[in-house]
Amino acid sequence: MSKYVVTVFDDEKGAYDGARALIDLDNQGSIAVYEGAVISKEPDGRVRIRDEATEGPIGTMSGMLLGSMIGVLGGPAGMVAGAAAGSLGGMMVDLYDVGVGDAFLDDVAVELTPGKHAVVAEIGEGWTLPLDTRMEELGGRVFRHWRLDVEDDQIDRDIQATQHELDELEAEWAQASADSKAKLQAKVDAAEAKLSSLDEKARKKLATLKEQTDAKIDKLNKQIAKAGDDFKAGLEKSRDDLKADYEKRSKKLKEAGQLAAEALG
C-alpha cells in the first residue's frame, strides 16, 4: 500500500521548496517517492499542474493515478458531501478511481484555496516525522491518506451478482414455453456478455496491479539499499506490506475471473 501526501503552501516559492525537500528525502532514502507534481489553485477554482518533471522522483510513473487525485482536488470544501447527495454526478466516479475518502479531500480543500500551491505525491514511508518536519519548516501543511483500491471488491461483487443472474435466467429458460424462451435468451445473452466483459476487466486489473506493484517494490528496494539504519526497517515493512497487499488483491481478482470463466463455460 502507498500513501497520498498533499502539502499545501501559501505561495509558489514554498511549493517548489517543498518539492525539492521531497526529492532530498527520496535521495537520502528516508522515503520513496513514486510520483508527484506541484499544483496551484486558480482563482476560478480549477487546479493547474505547475510542474511535472519527466525525470527524477517528481514525475509520473506509468499506470499510477496521481492525475485523478489532482483532478478531484479542484472542488471547494464540502464538494464531496454534495456528490454523495447526487449534485456532482462525476465526482463519485473520480473518488472511486482515486481511492481516498471524502473527509480527506474536504480537509485539503479547506486549506487549498485559490492562490495557494501544493505538492502532491504518492509515496512509501516507514516514518512520518522526516517529511512532516521538513515540510512544516518550510511553512507547509501536510495531509496524508492511504491509497485504497475498492475496484477489486467491486469487480468481485459484480461478477458474483451477474453469475447469480445468469443462473436464474438459465433455470427459468429451461422451464419456459417456446415463445418465452426467445425473450429469455436475449437476457441470457446480455448477462453472458456482461460476465465476459467483467472477466476481461479483472484480467486487465490484475495485469495493471502487477505492473504497479513491481515498479513500487523496485523503488523501495533502491531506497532500502541507500537508507540509514533508522529508516531501513520502516521501508522494509512498507515493502512487506505492499507484497502482502498484492497477494491478497491478486488472489481475489484471480478467483473472480475463475468464477466468471466457470459460469461462461
Average pLDDT value for residue range 113-117: 93
Predicted confidence band at 210 (pLDDT cuts at 50, 70, 90)? Answer: very high
- pLDDT value for 7: 97
Q: Looking at the structure, do residues 103 and 217 belong to the same domain, yes or no?
A: no
Tell me the pLDDT of the chain averaged across its residues: 83
pLDDT at 128 over 50: yes
Q: 82 pLDDT band (50/70/90 cuts)? A: very low
The pLDDT of residue 138? 97
In this prediction, residues 134-154 reach a mean pLDDT of 90
**Residue 50 is placed in which grid cell?**
505547475
Residues 159 and 121 in one domain: no
Do 30 and 111 reside in the same domain of the chain? yes
Q: Which of 117, 146, 175 is the last residue of a domain?
A: 146
Q: Do both 142 and 156 map to the same domain?
A: no
The most distant pair of C-alpha atoms in the chain lies apart, rounded to whole Å, by: 77
Domain count, the chain: 2
Q: In whole angstroms, what is the distance from residue 160 CA to residue 143 CA?
A: 37
**Residue percentage of the chain with pLDDT more than 70:** 85
Residues 127 and 239 in one domain: no
One domain for residues 8 and 134: yes
Q: Do residues 177 and 200 both lie within one domain?
A: yes
Co-location of 133 and 229 in the same domain: no
Last residue of a domain, one of 122, 146, 170: 146
Q: Do residues 162 and 218 both lie within one domain? A: yes
Give me the pLDDT at residue 51, please.
61
- Answer yes or no: are the C-beta atoms of 120 and 70 closer than 8 Å: yes
Q: Would you place residue 24 in the very low, low, confident or very high pLDDT band (cuts 50, 70, 90)?
A: very high
Residues 236 and 195 in one domain: yes
How far apart are the C-alpha atoms of 161 and 27, rounded to whole Å? 48
Instruction: Give the 3-state secondary structure of the chain.
Output: CCEEEEEEECCHHHHHHHHHHHHHHHHHCCEEEEEEEEEEECCCCCEEEEECCCCCCCCCCCCCCHHHHHHHCCCCCCHHHHHHCCCCCCHHHHHHHHCCCHHHHHHHHHHCCCCCEEEEEEEEECCCHHHHHHHHHCCCEEEEEECCCCHHHHHHHHHHHHHHHHHHHHHHHHHCCHHHHHHHHHHHHHHHHHHHHHHHHHHHHHHHHHHHHHHHHHHHHHHHHHCCHHHHHHHHHHHHHHHHHHHHHHHHHHHHHHHHHHHHC
Q: Where in the sequence is the domain holding 258, given as residue range(s)? A: 151-264
Same domain, 11 and 125: yes
Q: Is the pLDDT of residue 165 over 80?
A: yes
Tell whether 80 and 18 lie within a shared domain: yes
Instruction: Give the phi and the psi of residue 223 in degrees, each rounded to 5.
Output: -70, -40
pLDDT of residue 98: 64
Query: Among residues 146, 171, 200, which one ends one of the domains?
Result: 146
